[in-house]
Chain A
Amino acid sequence: METLLFNKHTNETSEIENVSPVDELKDEQISVETKDLNFYYGPEAQALFLVNLRIPKKRVTAFIGPSGCGKSTLLRCFNRMNDLIPGTFIEGKVYVEGEDIYHEEMRLEVLRKKVGMVFQKSNPFPKTIFENVAYGPRIHGLKDRAQLEAIVESTLRKSALWDEVKDRLNTNALDLSGGQQQRLCIARALAVDPEILLMDEPASALDPRSTARIEDLIAELRHEYTIVIVTHNMQQASRVSDYTAFMYEGNLIEFDRTRQIFTRPSEQQTEDYITGRFG
């Protein structure tokens, strides 16, 4: 990152700053789109301000920004997990695959099947490893044991956990290590075959080795899923993501290709944050 920053300082030109993100996305299909999104935790507590964002399909998008700037809030708007908090409401629109998800006829089960989520703290159910992964398909109506077994195996393979747990599928998931638990949660989210995977600081509680494994995993999944990841780790953002959104105090400050953000950010605030002058 140091070198990147160094380059950025030396090659600062106005020409590059003028390239708008919209143009950058012209070759991409759009997976999630927000239009003038305001989010409130209460009438007096606005957390997002007129966010306009387009997240490209089958790419990895990272959200960065100082603590409390609204990254998690924005992320949770995409699968409407914010609805669980009483008193919250939004203004504006959020489209997932072109569908207005805050439309009153939107069924949350359908939305959340499409938009999976991995939490900061791994949260496997106190059930067996098998049951954890099979839970999603089960609640969406799959009963056939053979099919469930196939899904469990394929998703555990995808999340690079299969070799470690294949002999203990019927043991309690809470006996796994922290990193394994997080990969299990990823497998659990993948088991319902989502199109989008939201990850809120998925590796922040893990040691470097487990973090590296999660990052490898993201790299492998990037061609199949639209991934949105919140992270505080600049290196991680630059390593795993194709696009990066920088947020500050509830505003989307800048959205661009990751390389662009880390080498030639167009906003002063972005640059300050990346170079570590604040946040």
Chain B
Amino acid sequence: MNVFKKSGEAYIFATALGMVITLVMVFTIVILILVKGLGFFWPADVVAFKMKIGEHYFGEVYDEKTAFLTDSDGQTIEQHQIQLKIGNRDIYGRDFIWIAENQVDKKYIPENVAVFERMEYGNFYGMIREVGSGEEVVRGQNSALIKALEAGHDKALELQEKIESTEVEIAKLNEPLNRLLREISLLEHSKTGRTEEGRGKLEAMRVRAEELSGKNRVENEKLNEYLQKLYRQNGKLYVAVEAADGRIKNIRLADVVRFYQPNQMNTFEKSGYYAAKLWEFVTGKPRESNTEGGVFPAIYGTVLMVILMSIIVVPLGVISAIYLNEYAKQGTIVRLIRLSVNNLAGVPSIVFGIFGLGFFIYMVGGSIDQIFFSSKLPEPTFGTGGIFWASLTLALLTVPVVVVATEEGILAVPQANRQGALALGATKWQTIRDIVLPNAMPGILTGLILAVSRGAGEVAPLMITGVVKLAPSLPLDLNFPFLHLDRKFMHLGFHIYDVGFQSPNVEAAKPMVYMTALLLIMIVMVLNLIAIYLRNRLRRKFKTSTF
């Protein structure tokens, strides 16, 4: 026993145990997310259930459980229940139901059942009865129906594209007029609008608005007519689907995202479908209040925000660390500052969010609007949440880790190297720039890694500094000036919160939450790997003298 104690076996065991527990926790969460998330896009078989009391459902088996019920005699009975995703929200009112297994009369796999993914109302499960493909209406054989459906769907998508571009054209045409009208209404409600001069200006503007609308009228009518024609054509493209209970639903093909017959698909076809879904998830826009479609804008927003944050936080942290370490007179004040910086790392992130909102957005942003964007007021430009303010807030949140890591990096620079430079006649600044900073780079990158990990996963402060549920446009695009620092953006972390807890259809959104979490973890990992790779390269370059 004594020997056991002396050799520290007990402590070694304790440390090993601690490590094992940590690893198990990490792996459990990753595996849980992987399993729950990655299974989501696999097309499950659609099963038909005929109940004893006559109900009839098509659906995907989602979950199973054993429930304990009390019957009329007060006795507990065990009941096996199955959760079905029955879709057809527009006719059933809900996507999911629980059915008791002992109530099932017949269970079978209908070969020709089709699944329609729609732009709205979620999936529709049913038998295809009729396809309207423009000129003709097709009925009968499954293969013929599918063929007509495919052709009609292609046509519908094409039409949809034409409709969208026409709508853009109309918006562009009327843009100057709309802007003028907005200015008029602003002026009407402002003080200057009531002065003599203002009234004169208003009159002139109204005349100009009249002119503009007159000029656009012909063109507008032509475009609208074309649009109506497209709408009518689109209306002729539909599919009539019979739900399990016999009700028939006409679905416009333009509303169909994709359709498939899972019970006829082989593994290969299912894999193709899986890949397509995954691709849509990563590159597509969200639909149906974010519970369907993709998360591309959120990925984009997250990555861009982290990059902006890094661009801000690294110089800020490095400069502070250099000043603290190299220039400031070491003493009580510096010790106090260092203590404050370290404590800053422990401040709850929401506090940073509130600071960002109060200081950056209302004070700084408000002033910027007053000075540079006064013509747009009261509509705020920088005086409201945006990607720049969010990045700045996160930079503030993560600056302590960068400062601390940089300081450590600076302290690790061999004194001999500094002296070597100074002895050659280098100034202090030259020594810092050429010797200290390059040598401290691995430390700085360590700080960046920590900052990225923390920043990418942070949600609370973002919610009040610029993240939104659905952003109309990306913060970086091909329109001048390309980087729109004032725009609101989407973020994976917030997306998880929103989809998981704020969406009207939480059950349907659950896998989406797992997938998004998986994506967020992967992005953080990739960003980290990049930084680690850079750090290792630098380490090799700046390995200190072995001699």
Contact = CB atoms under 8 A, between A and B. Distances in A.
B423 interface: yes
Contacts of B250: none
Interface in A17-41: none
Contact of B416 (A121, A192, A205): A121
B424 A113 contact: yes
A122 B545 contact: yes
Interface in B423-480: 423-427, 430, 434-435, 438-439
Nearest to B542: A126
Interface stretch (A91-99, A135-143, A159-167, A214-222): A135-143
B435 A125 contact: yes
A182 B193 CA distance: 82
Contacts of B543: 126, 172, 174
A123 interface: yes
A58 interface: no
A108 B425 contact: yes
Contacts of B422: 81, 84, 108, 112
Interface in B381-436: 414, 416-417, 419-427, 430, 434-435
B545 A174 contact: yes
A174 B424 CA distance: 19
B547 A181 contact: yes
A69 interface: no
Q: Is the interface of B mostly helix, strand, loop or mixed?
A: helix
Contacts of A109: 425-427
Nearest to B546: A174
A135 B419 contact: no
Contacts of B179: none
B190 interface: no
A10 B435 CA distance: 55
Among the interface residues B414, B424, B430, B434, which one has the most CB atoms of the partner chain A within 10 A?
A: B424
A119 interface: yes
A120 to B, nearest CB: 9
Nearest to A182: B547
Among the interface residues A111, A113, A139, which one has the most CB atoms of the partner chain B within 10 A?
A: A139
Contacts of B435: 125
Interface in B122-171: none
A14 B319 CA distance: 66
Contact of B419 (A122, A123, A126): A123
A135 B426 CA distance: 9
Contact of B421 (A110, A111, A116, A125): A125
Contacts of B546: 174
B419 A112 contact: no
A125 B417 contact: yes
A66 interface: no
A203 B546 CA distance: 17
A79 interface: yes
B373 to A, nearest CB: 44
B420 A123 contact: yes
Contacts of B419: 81, 84, 119, 123
Given A135-B434, A139-B425, A185 B541 contact: no
Contacts of A250: none
Contacts of A139: 421, 424-427, 430, 434
A57 interface: no
B544 interface: yes
Contacts of B438: 126
Interface string B511-546: 000000000000000000000000000000111111
Chain A to chain B: the 9 pairs with minimum beta-carbon distance, closest first: A123-B416, A113-B425, A112-B425, A117-B423, A136-B424, A126-B542, A109-B425, A178-B547, A123-B420
Interface of B: 414, 416-417, 419-427, 430, 434-435, 438-439, 541-547
Interface of A: 79, 81, 84, 108-113, 116-117, 119, 121-126, 135-136, 139-140, 172, 174, 177-178, 181, 185, 188-189, 192, 205
Given A123-B414, A139-B430, 20 more contacts: A79-B423, A108-B425, A108-B427, A109-B425, A112-B422, A113-B425, A123-B417, A123-B420, A123-B545, A125-B417, A126-B439, A126-B541, A126-B544, A126-B545, A135-B421, A135-B424, A135-B434, A139-B427, A174-B544, A181-B545
